[in-house]
Amino acid sequence: MTYEPTIIAFLCNWCSYTGADLAGTSRMKYASNINIIRVMCSGRIEPMFVLSAFREGADGVLICGCHPGDCHYHEGNYKCLRRFHLLQKYLTQMGLNEERMRLEWISASEGKQFAELADDFTEKIRSLGPCKLKETAETLT
Amino acid sequence: MANKEKNKIKLAIYWGAACGGCCVSVLDVHEKLFDIVAAADLVFWPIALDFKYKDVEDMPDKDIDVTLFNGAVRNSENEHMAHLLRKKSKLLVAYGSCAHMGGIPGLANFSNRQEIFERVYETTESTVNPEKITPQTKSKVAEGELSLPEFYNDVRTLNQVVEVDYYIPGCPPQSERLLEVFAAIVSGAELPPKGSVIGALDKSQCDECPREKTENKLLKKFKRPFEIEDDGKTCLLEQGVICLGPATRGGCGVRCIEGNAPCRGCYGPPTSIPDPGAKMMSAIATIIDENEPDAIKKVIETIEDPAGTIYRFSVPQSIIRRKIMPQEKKKEEAVLQS
Ligand code: SF4
Ligand code: SF4
Ligand code: FES
């Protein structure tokens, strides 16, 4: 059986989700491995969400928000950016490959960029193979 | 919970992977220990009384009214005793940070048995062990076979091994809190719902903390406690020291902060916060005064060992409860190739 990665994508409502929606309405094809969760703003994405995604078995986590300066709530994406780097530092300390988590800015008009990003990230995660985090956390030895 | 004779309750205290501090915290009630002894028969307490495991095995099930179990579960002996005491006790209380969340022994989940054995029995500077002798669970000697508990890869909290009725947090728990809880149990007062954290508050250390907090806490550098000139008044986090106050429940009497040291989180997070480190990552990200990736990374670099700091007492209980070890990663590659 070929391995199909499970990817959780957190997309902010105002830019990135609209961008992903544009990819859909424009009938662009992109990897079906991406499971989108819409949040109001990338600043709403708590570290807890990302940790839970990995613990529940995600192989990769993608975070998208409005471009810097464009956040509907002004500063949410900067907050997201700072959390992202901290999370990445922490996850690396826990033995996770930092490439399993990616942050990109996608505007409402960037449907094509979103579709390409989805494909590119899926291929990256496919090449890394299944994430062992869930199994490691749950196997008590 | 009254016992036939003199309404005394039967109390047991046991240590798993612990430092002994929790048992000492029980002794720290000083002369109040006599009140405890007046109300309870201590039927098992290895640090202070000469009972054997066999004595516990011989007790009828549920014979002990309350067992205070301190320490994490790190080897087969801890695990065996957790099961045994669960069976013999009406109430099993996880007492102290290690039984509650893994505690300091839980930091070993950044490693595994192989790494720990290599370090301890081979590479420590003071070790000479050319034959690489390591402890074996069974060894034959002239007198017969000797056995040692099996050292596990993983450190577990008590509730990852057996069902736990209550948690009394702290490293160690404040003795006053223990007395309050004990008095409540002895008086037969109605106890909180099973699974509750008792002997602590549900608000955070910050709510209890006397230090001044301003809205304007923005930082370009984090510092270790010795690097600041503490004014004794301003919130430690605002002065750049990682203080786990925002992610830790009150109840200890802000004792570290009263001693001008940051909170390390030994009381664990309030009910509303499932993972203390995740909460701290949010709190820390909020006060970093940079908006560019490289500058942000530079600020983060000034935090010494973020994972070990924000999960100081809670690695085994946290969402990502142990490190993925390199050999486990190799397995990952192996799966890919197959
Ligand atoms: S972060 Fe620490 S020093 Fe600051 S208010 Fe909270 S408990 Fe007090
Ligand atoms: S201040 Fe924090 S680390 Fe210190 S005793 Fe209280 S909860 Fe524990
Ligand atoms: S609304 Fe898109 S990042 Fe804040």
The tens digit of pLDDT for each residue in B221-244 reads 999 999 999 999 999 999 999 999
Residue B213 lies in a domain: yes
Residue A42 CA to ligand 1 center (angstroms) comes to 27
Distance CA B327, CA B42 (A): 46
Q: Which residues line ligand 3 (CB under 6 A)?
A: A 12, 14-15, 41-43, 65-66, 71-73, 76-77
Query: Which ligand is nearest the CA of A67, by number?
Result: 3
Domains of chain B: total: 3
DSSP string over B1-30: ---TTTTPEEEEEEESB--SHHHHHHHTTT
Q: For B254-275, b where at least 16 C-beta lie within 10 A, e where not — what string? A: bebbeeeebbbbbbbbbeebeb
A–B interface: beta-carbon pairs under 8 A: 106
Q: In 3-state terms, what secondary structure has residue A102?
A: strand
Q: Which of B251, B250, B244 is closest to B277 using CA atoms?
A: B244
Q: Which of A61, A85, A124 to mutate to test the interface with B (most CBs of B within 10 A)?
A: A85
Residues B243, B136 share a domain = no
For ligand 2, atom 4, which residue shows the shortest CA distance?
A: B256
Residues B268, B127 share a domain = no
- What domains, with CATH codes, occur in chain A? 7-132 (3.40.50)
Query: What is the 3-state secondary structure of B88-138?
Result: HEEEEEEECHHHHHCCHHHHHHHCCHHHHHHHHHHHCCCCCCCCCCCCCCE
Task: Provide the residue count of chain B.
Answer: 338
Which atom of ligand 3 lies nearest, measured to the CA of A71? 4
Q: What tens-digit pLDDT sequence spans chain B (338 residues)? A: 444 456 799 999 999 999 999 999 998 888 888 888 889 999 999 999 999 999 999 999 999 999 999 999 999 999 999 999 999 999 999 999 999 999 999 999 999 999 999 999 999 999 999 999 999 999 999 999 999 999 999 999 999 999 999 999 999 999 888 888 888 888 888 889 999 999 999 999 999 999 999 877 789 999 999 999 999 999 999 999 999 999 999 999 999 999 999 999 999 999 999 999 999 999 999 999 999 999 999 999 999 999 999 999 999 999 999 999 986 545 444 444 43
Q: In 3-state terms, what secondary structure has residue B151?
A: strand
Residues 70-129 of B with CB under 8 A from A: 110
pLDDT in tens, B41-84: 999 999 999 999 999 999 999 999 999 999 999 999 999 999 99
The pLDDT of residue B159 is: 97
Residues B20, B65 share a domain = yes
CB distance B133 to B140 below 8 Å: no
Residue B322 lies in a domain: no
Q: Which amino acid is at B252?
A: C
A 10 A CB-CB count for B125 gives 4
Residues B116, B100 share a domain = no
- Ligand 1 proximity of B211 Cβ (cutoff 6 Å): yes
Q: How far B216 CA sits from the closest chain A CA (Å)?
A: 15
Residue B75 lies in a domain: yes
Residues B189, B86 share a domain = yes
Q: What is the dihedral of CA B297, B299, B303, B305, to 10 degrees?
A: 10
Residues B120, B33 share a domain = no
Q: How far A27 CA sits from the closest chain B CA (Å)?
A: 32
Residues B243, B190 share a domain = no
- B102: which residues sit within 8 A by CB, 6+ positions away? B72, B109, B155, B156, B157, B313, B314, B315, B316, B317, B321
- B310: which residues sit within 8 A by CB, 6+ positions away? A90, B242, B244, B247, B265, B276, B277, B280, B281, B284
Residues B282, B169 share a domain = no
Q: How far A25 CA sits from the closest chain B CA (Å)?
A: 33
- B128: which residues sit within 8 A by CB, 6+ positions away? none
Q: Which amino acid is at B132?
A: K
The C-alpha angle A52, B335, A127, rounded to 5 degrees, equals 70
Residues B177, B67 share a domain = yes
Residue B39 lies in a domain: yes
Residue B317 lies in a domain: no
Residue B210 lies in a domain: yes
Half-sphere exposure at residue B119, Cβ-oriented, CA atoms within 13 angstroms: 7
Residue B65 lies in a domain: yes
Q: In which domain, by residue range, is B121 found?
A: 110-152
The pLDDT of residue B190 is: 87
Residues B95, B37 share a domain = yes
Distance CA B287, CA B219 (A): 6
Taking the alpha carbons at both ends of chain B, their separation in whole angstroms is 59
CB distance B9 to B40 below 8 Å: yes
Residue B326 lies in a domain: no
Among B166, B197, B228, where does a domain finish?
A: B197
Query: Which ligand is nearest the CA of A64, by number?
Result: 3
Side by side, the strands of the sheet bearing A7-12 are A34-39, A7-12, A60-65, A101-105
Residues B75, B47 share a domain = yes
Residues B81, B99 share a domain = yes
Distance CA B105, CA B101 (A): 10
Position A32 pLDDT exceeds 90: yes
